[in-house]
Structure 1
Amino acid sequence: MKIGIDAIAMDTPDFYVDLVTLAKVRGDDPDKYTIGIGQDEQAVPPSSQDIVTMGANAASQLVTPAIRASIGMVLVGTESGVDASKSAALFIHQLLDLPEWVRAVELKEACYGGTAALMMARDYVAGHPDKSVLVIAADIARYGLATAGEVTQGAGAVAMIVKAEPRLITIEPDSVYRSTSINDFWRPIYQDTAIAQGKYSTEQYLAFFQAVWDRYQEENKLTADNFAGMTFHLPYTKMGKKALDLALPKAEPQTVKRLKERFDASTRYCRRIGNIYTGSLYLGLLSLLDHDATLQAGDRIGLFSYGSGAVAEFFSGILQPGFSDQLQSAVHARQLDERQQLTVPAYEALFSDKVPYDPEDYRPDPAYFRGQFVLTGVVGQERLYEKRPAHASNATQQLD
């Protein structure tokens, strides 16, 4: 029985900051951001948008009546949880009005959480072939204004339907994974900005990739030449390129050319959205599928997932006949193109206006409400979400 991703969709905030503009304000050479890091634009979430609203917005594109009736689990991988106890999956379950006879769970292991959810979903479907699983990987990456990590911030969600006989891509039973406790990146529960040992984290990302890639080749008798494309966890696009380079020394020249070209296709969404932690790998997969029309059914795609702390996994998927019919490339392009560019002062104000880590009531600014689902406030320490009419927008003025 084939098991894999039947449908996939993304969501990201309707506001962004241009990184060339930001570089100039910060006194940096724009090439440092656009070439050295490999980022062009960065999604900026207002306080009314969080992993729940983005996850629900992404998932709402996929939950048809048939899928709704077949869902057995809702899994959310994130490291931006809105509560230390209650699962974001339960908030999303309510917003989507899903059946009550399902499991709803949140999973955490840094940027690996989305892959953990995907693999749990695959195992569940193997035992329940008539069921489907809604998997959501959603995050908001925050490091702070004018910090070393500022250019690698971002926000977004990727939703996937996992089921038997998928129409998009199978998840092959060839995973190799590795876990080792290290301190390269973490976020204490009392703050919403991460602490990163940047150079060390990069070194560990590459070392973990080399280790699982070597073991994957040995166990599965496959090499880079067997892959039509490879996708990576992308905290920023240059990180994935460094990992890809480690897989290419023994590859045939045509393989090197193919994998580099398709890697570039896989980074286009990341370059415009930024880092979305648990969803970054799947945003890369979606970008590859949306931007490379030469892919064919039967092509093998490699996927490398990395979560600081650290857990890494390399596995592959096989594109299915008619897979391109399941894509929503035009929808994604329109969403990105219709976003509103913020001035740097507006970006800084939006970044600083956040739901506080204290018991006081808080109300987001309705001028920034966007999309079908919004956080309308925190009252009595309870988060309040609202489902609004599709494509609703409260503000038409230019925000600057």
Structure 2
Amino acid sequence: MSSNTEVHIGIDRMGMFVPEQYLDVEDLARARHVEPAKFTRGIGQSRMSVPRHCDDIVSMGANAIAEILPDIDIDRLGLLIVGTESGIDQSKSSSLFIKHLLNLANRIESFEIKEACFGATAGLFVAYHYVAAHPDRTVLVVASDVARYGLGTAGEVTQGAGAIAMLVSADPDILVLNDDAEDYSDDINDFWRPNGHTEALVDGKYSTQVYLDFFRHVFDEYRDKTALGLDDFGALLFHLPFTKMGMKALRVALEDADVDDRKRLEHNFEMSARYSRDVGNLYTGSLYLSLLSWLEHADLDQAGSGDGSLAGTRIALFSYGSGAMCKFFTGRIQPGYRRGLRAESHARMLNARKRLTVQEYEQLFDEYYASEDVQTEKPESGFYYAGVKHDIRQYSRA
């Protein structure tokens, strides 16, 4: 970030979308002849969102933006960025499809960023610099992904799908980003998806160790650079491919913590993990699902004491993308943060989902990429992917 600008820049609005169906991981465990506790406690998951053929990164991203679009001054919007590792075309960006679906102005710049699960964070900081240069402009950053590892694989329980949309602006309502980020990258083969593969390839144990090593590096560098300690933070939030991964990183941070810091940070981690536990892995959106979960659950959890406000709280966020790139950055919650959230809408969305049988889930998984030239089933509402016509992807709205 630039240290020359005095304008406060950060996240002003947040939207979320998940598919209309899910799989209970205990059902999956029994079907795979695994003790359910291995998934629910060992991995830390309860449910995973399952996309239908009509759910892809474009439709989910457009639906996440649509949730916050009424609050956006379109005349100020200058840039739309999609972070994803579930690309739909080797050339054309998903952001252009989304921009068209939402009928956004042609003057708006639009592109896609890929670096595994780090793509949305890269987009967030591109947005930061854009607003620093154009304080009267805003940016939409969308994280949209479908996490797939294959039926019966070790990573199957950590699948998921969905999208998070963020409006970045000067003087935001939710979170002001601080000028203190710490970055680290290296050429690592822990997770990748070659051309032609519909599922990721991953060395799970190695990837977990790299994640933890990268976190320790940037966390230690950050503390040395800033002299800030655990008592300066209300919450530490993490990229959560599965919730137990973030807990392992939190334990690294808490190695020398006192009782009060440990209690506060562990409690707030649990608040941040609730959506991830119920939705699964969103790849580029996982960190921001954690942020949204913490804002909407910690706020309610503290409502019995004073007004339950999180305003003024300094938080830290750890973003990781395999391959590998990470960033440790911080921000401060703003007094108007509740204006940028839709907790009741998100609760309704999650509670209204259909519970699939394992057989239904397996059929959806097998068919997801199998018949792109046919008209798909329509969702009950919102944007959806409608198949391919003359090699061009088609989208519509229910």
- Using the size of structure 2 for normalisation, the TM-score is 0.94
Q: 1:60 aligns with which of 63, 66, 89?
A: 66
Aligned residue for 2:96, secondary structure, equals helix
Residues 361 and 54 (structure 1 numbering): CA distance in 2 closer, same or farther, change over 3 Å? closer
Partner of 1:151: 157
Aligned residue for 2:15, secondary structure, equals strand
Give a deviation string over 1:15-44, Cα, whole Å, max 9, x none: 101111111111100000000000000100
Aligned residue for 1:316, secondary structure, equals strand
Residue 377 (1) aligns with residue 387 (2)? yes
Residues 299 and 29 (structure 1 numbering): CA distance in 2 closer, same or farther, change over 3 Å? same
- CA drift of 1:361 comes to 5.6
- CA drift of 1:249 comes to 1.9
Equivalences for 1:186-265 in 2 at 5 Å?
A: 186-265=192-271
- CA drift of 1:322 comes to 2.4
Give a deviation string over 1:158-185, Cα, whole Å, max 9, x none: 0000000001111111110111001000
Alpha carbon RMSD of aligned pairs, Å?
Answer: 1.2
CA distance in 1, matches of 2:375, 2:315: 41
- CA drift of 1:297 comes to 1.1
- CA drift of 1:371 comes to 3.0
Aligned residue for 1:90, secondary structure, equals helix
- Structure 1 vs Structure 2: percent identity of aligned residues? 48
* Alignment length (residue pairs): 384
Residue 25 (1) aligns with residue 31 (2)? yes
Equivalences for 1:1-400 in 2 at 5 Å?
A: 1-64=7-70, 66-293=72-299, 294=302, 295-356=309-370, 362-366=373-377, 368-388=378-398
CA distance in 1, matches of 2:39, 2:389: 39
Question: CA contact under 8 A between 1:112 and 1:312: conserved in structure 2?
Answer: yes
Q: Which residue identity lines up with residue 7 of structure 1 in the other structure?
A: R
Question: CA contact under 8 A between 2:57 and 2:146: conserved in structure 1?
Answer: yes
Give a deviation string over 1:102-132, Cα, whole Å, max 9, x none: 1101000000001000000001000000000
Question: CA contact under 8 A between 1:361 and 1:381: conserved in structure 2?
Answer: no
5+ residue gaps, structure 2, are: 1-6, 303-308
Question: CA contact under 8 A between 1:225 and 1:252: conserved in structure 2?
Answer: no
Question: CA contact under 8 A between 2:376 and 2:385: conserved in structure 1?
Answer: no
- CA drift of 1:246 comes to 0.6
Aligned residue for 1:305, secondary structure, equals strand
Residues 361 and 52 (structure 1 numbering): CA distance in 2 closer, same or farther, change over 3 Å? closer
- Using the size of structure 1 for normalisation, the TM-score is 0.94
Residues 262 and 66 (structure 1 numbering): CA distance in 2 closer, same or farther, change over 3 Å? closer
Aligned residue for 1:63, secondary structure, equals helix
Q: Which residue identity lines up with residue 15 of structure 1 in the other structure?
A: Q
Give a deviation string over 1:22-71, Cα, whole Å, max 9, x none: 11111100000000000000100001110100000000111237521111
Residues 66 and 55 (structure 1 numbering): CA distance in 2 closer, same or farther, change over 3 Å? closer
